[in-house]
């Protein structure tokens, strides 16, 4: 499924010129978003993309290409011309875990993409439908011990953040719920609010606004410490079920994109995350922002590689694979 939205930059109409690295960007830049509109990755792309568009004086087009937990979207970005006009946004699921889980990917996440910048990370929240009659993580675990096979829970597909969160939840609590795949946790959240599904371990940026609106309940945060954005929500460890999963995001270009273009995109991403309004918006959603040093392409490439190796071990040990 595909959907396009245009984010306008201030001087978009003034830009013109040759498609060389020096003249870049002379036309709109497409960000391929691997999940549905209205979900956490889409939100990150829109918040960051709108500000980067202003920084670069060009429009950013949001291209939501969904399905197969982001593998279709990333493949599309990998195969795009390496000219800086198509970039890929994703997270520890799409750009790390999927490399281990999907055996027949026709691209290599570490060598076919050129890192542009690391983007913020947020923890997951263990959330439930208001109609589920449990009031704490402990009660949820007791409930799932008896009813787990009948309780539908949302994910954005195998390898997505909400799937990694579910795996951590299963490992920490010794319980399970049914994994119902969606094209993103934006649509899954609508079903959680409507009690079509009953649980989810979902990114704080997607869950917190619904928790604040009283539409769902949150039992725990999967981080070492409580989040400053929602200090009333205990950590999973406080209830006796330690889980630490953080969903970090990033931007990549196809391999072979000129380094000067990567540098311009990186500078725009750094300027974006220095903007106090952007920082406030992201922090309010429970996001932790990387430092400019962590955002540098080389530092991000090293981090990406480390995370790939770390998750490969976890996913192989948990025997997670597509049959
Ligand atoms: N990031 C996904 C989305 O935007 C959700 C997930 O990874 O669980 O829908």
Distance 201 CA to ligand 1 centre (A): 11
Query: Over 151-171, what HEC string results?
Result: CEEEECCCCCHHHHHHHHHHH
Q: Is residue 2 part of a domain?
A: no
Residues in the chain: 323
Average pLDDT for residues 152-157, to the nearest whole number?
A: 97
34 close to ligand 1 (CB < 6 Angstrom): no
Q: Is residue 296 part of a domain?
A: yes
Domains contained in the chain, number: 2
Q: Is residue 263 part of a domain?
A: yes
185 close to ligand 1 (CB < 6 Angstrom): yes
Cβ neighbors of 25 (< 8 A, separation 6 or more) are: 15, 56, 57, 58, 84, 85, 264
- The b/e string for 284-307 (b: 16+ C-beta within 10 A; e otherwise) is ebbbbbbebeebbbebbbebbeeb
The answer to whether 294 and 303 are in contact (CB under 8 A) is yes
159 close to ligand 1 (CB < 6 Angstrom): no
Q: Is residue 187 part of a domain?
A: yes
Q: Which of 98, 108, 85 is nearest to 35 (CA)?
A: 98
Which CATH number fits the domain that encloses residue 209? Answer: 3.40.190.10
Same domain, 197 and 228: yes
121 close to ligand 1 (CB < 6 Angstrom): no
Distance 74 CA to ligand 1 centre (A): 14
Tell me the pLDDT tens digit for each residue of 193-214: 999 999 999 999 999 999 999 9
* Atom 2, ligand 1: residue with shortest CA distance: 184
Q: Report the distance separating Cα 264 and Cα 279, nearest Å.
A: 20
Q: Is residue 163 part of a domain?
A: yes
Predicted pLDDT of residue 247: 98
Tell me the pLDDT tens digit for each residue of 159-184: 999 999 999 999 999 999 999 999 99
70 close to ligand 1 (CB < 6 Angstrom): no
41 close to ligand 1 (CB < 6 Angstrom): yes
Which CATH number fits the domain that encloses residue 277? Answer: 3.40.190.150
Q: Which of 206, 157, 151 is nearest to 181 (CA)?
A: 157
167 close to ligand 1 (CB < 6 Angstrom): no
User: Where does residue 283 rank: exposed (0-12), middle (13-18), buried (19+ CB within 10 A)?
Assistant: middle
- 217, 239, 261 — which closes off a domain? 239
Angle between helices 259-274 and 297-317 (to 10 degrees): 80
Predicted pLDDT of residue 279: 98
**Cα dihedral sign, 43-219-187-168:** positive
Average pLDDT, the chain: 94
* Atom 3, ligand 1: residue with shortest CA distance: 184
**Band of pLDDT at residue 11, cut at 50, 70 and 90:** very low
**Band of pLDDT at residue 312, cut at 50, 70 and 90:** very high
Q: Which of 167, 196, 165 is nearest to 318 (CA)?
A: 167
**Band of pLDDT at residue 70, cut at 50, 70 and 90:** very high
Same domain, 272 and 166: no
Same domain, 127 and 117: no
Q: Is the pLDDT of residue 54 over 80?
A: yes
Q: Report the distance separating Cα 157 and Cα 141, nearest Å.
A: 23
- 213, 239, 265 — which closes off a domain? 239
**Cα dihedral sign, 42-295-263-96:** negative
Tokens, residue 197: 């599904």
Q: Are strands 86-91 and 29-33 parallel, antiparallel or unpaired?
A: parallel
Q: How far is CA 134 from CA 130, 175, 199, 215, in A?
A: 9, 15, 11, 15
Tokens, residue 51: 């500000």
Q: Which of 159, 184, 201, 207 to mutate to test the pocket of ligand 1 (most atoms within 8 A of CB)?
A: 184
Residue-number span of the structural domain to which 28 is assigned: 10-121+248-317
Average pLDDT for residues 92-110, to the nearest whole number?
A: 95
């Amino acid at each position: 499924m595909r959907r396009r939205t245009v984010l306008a930059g201030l001087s978009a109409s003034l830009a013109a010129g040759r498609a060389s690295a020096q003249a870049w960007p002379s036309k709109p830049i497409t960000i391929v978003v691997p999940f549905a509109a209205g979900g956490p990755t889409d939100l990150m792309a829109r918040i960051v993309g709108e500000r980067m568009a202003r920084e670069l004086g060009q429009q950013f087009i949001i291209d939501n290409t969904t399905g197969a937990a982001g593998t279709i979207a990333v493949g599309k970005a990998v195969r795009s011309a390496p000219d800086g006009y198509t970039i890929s946004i994703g997270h520890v699921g799409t750009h790390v875990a999927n490399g281990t889980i999907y055996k027949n990917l026709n691209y290599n996440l570490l060598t076919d993409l050129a890192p542009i910048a690391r983007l913020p990370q947020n923890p997951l929240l263990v959330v439930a439908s208001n109609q589920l009659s449990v009031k704490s993580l402990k009660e949820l675990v007791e409930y799932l011990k008896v009813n787990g096979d009948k309780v539908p829970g949302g994910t954005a597909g195998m390898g997505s953040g909400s799937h990694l969160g579910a795996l951590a939840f299963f490992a920490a609590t010794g319980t399970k719920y049914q994994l119902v795949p969606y094209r993103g946790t934006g649509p899954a959240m609508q079903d959680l609010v409507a009690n079509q599904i009953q649980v989810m371990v979902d990114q704080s940026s997607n869950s917190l606004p619904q928790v604040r609106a009283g539409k769902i309940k949150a039992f725990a945060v999967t981080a070492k410490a409580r989040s400053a954005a929602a200090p009333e929500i205990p950590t999973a460890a406080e209830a006796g079920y330690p889980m630490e999963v953080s969903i970090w995001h990033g931007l990549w270009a196809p391999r072979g994109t000129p380094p000067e273009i990567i540098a311009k995109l990186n500078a725009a991403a750094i300027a974006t995350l220095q903007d106090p309004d952007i920082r406030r918006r992201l922090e309010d959603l429970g996001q932790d922002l990387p430092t400019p040093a962590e955002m540098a392409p080389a530092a991000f490439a090293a981090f990406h590689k480390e995370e790939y190796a770390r998750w490969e071990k976890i996913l192989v040990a948990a025997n997670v694979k597509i049959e």
